[in-house]
């Protein structure tokens, strides 16, 4: 628990970020969790997943962006990404973070960027808004609702709900009533007890409760977890309720539990792998280390071996 908190705090440390990003060994280690730095590197990784019957959600790494020129560059990359997905014919949708699209600069700028991207994606290309720390939960849901109720009535967009937040049951109710597509995950940030369950048992129990609500009444939910207990609970519940396996999808992160990913596909379940690419991999890598501090040993061994 201590290691998790420490790693999550370090994830926000800019000095450490520049040190780690400049180190060529850590850049190599990040490759275990990241599908390359460019679109041209990421697309073949997706094709490789597709060949195993797995779909992808491509995510351009980057968050907490405070410079307008960087936000513009992110929008441009997503526009090129839509084109690359179309041209290559890979089976992929995209994920993005609102703080990479200007949420911390100006909410209106962020909304306009989202509307532009959703229009460019077209009705058949789904765009998932990742959920960031609790400082952004309400703003993210508000912006999502605004897109949903806008004149264009965007329906190619969905959100993420984290089972560690106490508020999530209520949020799920609202989203189920809207008919919105939800990805359910446990949550990856360092949150205070006042708003998040501190114990894993409670986070897991809430996950199962919310999963059931989504699988029964949600629209094509994404059950995002590597936890075999959560996966079994989902499979059992769907069987018990006679819900077909094509009514939801499991989702995992690139490079994590590849064995489980292919097993689920072999057993007739849908699987989507969140596939990040780009150069801003530091906070993403730190959150992956925080989830499983044993990964830190893998990192240290690699550094010491050189």
Asked if 185 is part of the footprint of ligand FDA (rule: CB under 6 A), the reply reads yes
Q: Which one of residues 60, 71, 165, 252 is an interface residue with ligand FDA (CB under 6 A)?
A: 252
CB of 63 to ligand FDA, least distance (A): 11
Name which of 17 and 59 has its Cβ closer to ligand FDA.
59
Asked if 141 is part of the footprint of ligand FDA (rule: CB under 6 A), the reply reads no
Name which of 17 and 190 has its Cβ closer to ligand FDA.
190
Give the sign of the dihedral formed by CA 238, CA 243, CA 245, CA 247: negative
Q: Could you give the CA distance from residue 164 to residue 156 in angstroms, rounded to a whole number?
A: 26
Asked if 183 is an active-site residue, the reply is: yes
CB of 27 to ligand FDA, least distance (A): 18
Q: Which one of residues 39, 188, 231, 286 is an interface residue with ligand FDA (CB under 6 A)?
A: 188
Q: Give the single-character DSSP code of 135.
A: G
Q: Could you give the CA distance from residue 209 to residue 93 in angstroms, rounded to a whole number?
A: 27
Catalytic residue among 59, 104, 128, 183: 183
Q: Which one of residues 71, 110, 172, 186 is an interface residue with ligand FDA (CB under 6 A)?
A: 186
Asked if 12 is part of the footprint of ligand FDA (rule: CB under 6 A), the reply reads no
Question: What burial class does residue 261 get, using C-beta atoms within 10 Å of its C-beta: 0-12 exposed, 13-18 middle, 19+ buried?
Answer: buried
Kindly report each contact of residues 225-230 with a partner whose C-beta sits within 8 Å and lies 24 or more positions away, as own/partner: 225/184, 225/185, 225/186, 225/250, 225/251, 225/252, 226/252, 226/253, 226/256, 226/257, 226/260, 227/186, 228/260, 229/204, 230/204
Q: Which chain residues interact with ligand FDA by CB under 6 A?
A: 130-131, 160, 162, 185-189, 224-227, 251-253, 256-257, 274, 288, 291-292, 295
């Amino acid at each position: 628990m201590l290691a998790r908190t420490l790693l999550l705090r370090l994830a926000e440390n800019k000095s450490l970020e520049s040190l780690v990003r400049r180190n060529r060994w850590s850049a190599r280690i990040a490759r275990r969790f990241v599908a390359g730095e460019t679109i041209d590197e990421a697309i073949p990784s997706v094709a490789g997943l597709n060949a195993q019957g797995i779909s992808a959600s491509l995510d351009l790494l980057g968050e907490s962006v405070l410079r307008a020129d960087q936000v513009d560059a992110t929008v441009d990359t997503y526009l090129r990404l839509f084109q690359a997905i179309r041209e290559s014919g890979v089976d992929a949708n995209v994920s993005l973070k609102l703080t990479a699209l200007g949420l911390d600069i100006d909410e209106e700028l962020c909304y306009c960027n989202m509307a532009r991207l959703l229009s460019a994606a077209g009705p058949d290309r789904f765009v998932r808004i990742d959920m960031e720390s609790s400082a952004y939960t309400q703003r993210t849901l508000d912006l999502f609702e605004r897109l949903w109720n806008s004149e264009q009535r965007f329906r190619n967009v969905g959100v993420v709900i984290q089972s560690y937040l106490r508020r999530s049951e209520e949020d799920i109710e609202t989203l189920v009533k809207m008919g919105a597509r939800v990805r359910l995950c446990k949550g990856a940030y360092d949150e205070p007890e006042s708003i998040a369950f501190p114990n894993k048992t409670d986070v897991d129990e809430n996950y199962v409760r919310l999963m059931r609500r989504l699988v029964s009444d949600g629209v094509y939910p994404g059950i995002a977890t590597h936890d075999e207990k959560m996966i079994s609970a989902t499979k059992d519940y769907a069987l018990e309720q006679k819900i077909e396996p094509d009514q939801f999808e499991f989702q995992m992160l690139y490079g994590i539990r590849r064995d489980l990913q292919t097993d689920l596909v072999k057993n007739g379940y849908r699987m989507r792998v969140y596939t990040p690419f780009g150069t801003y991999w530091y906070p993403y890598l730190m959150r992956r280390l925080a989830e499983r501090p044993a990964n830190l040993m893998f990192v240290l061994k690699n550094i010491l071996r050189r």
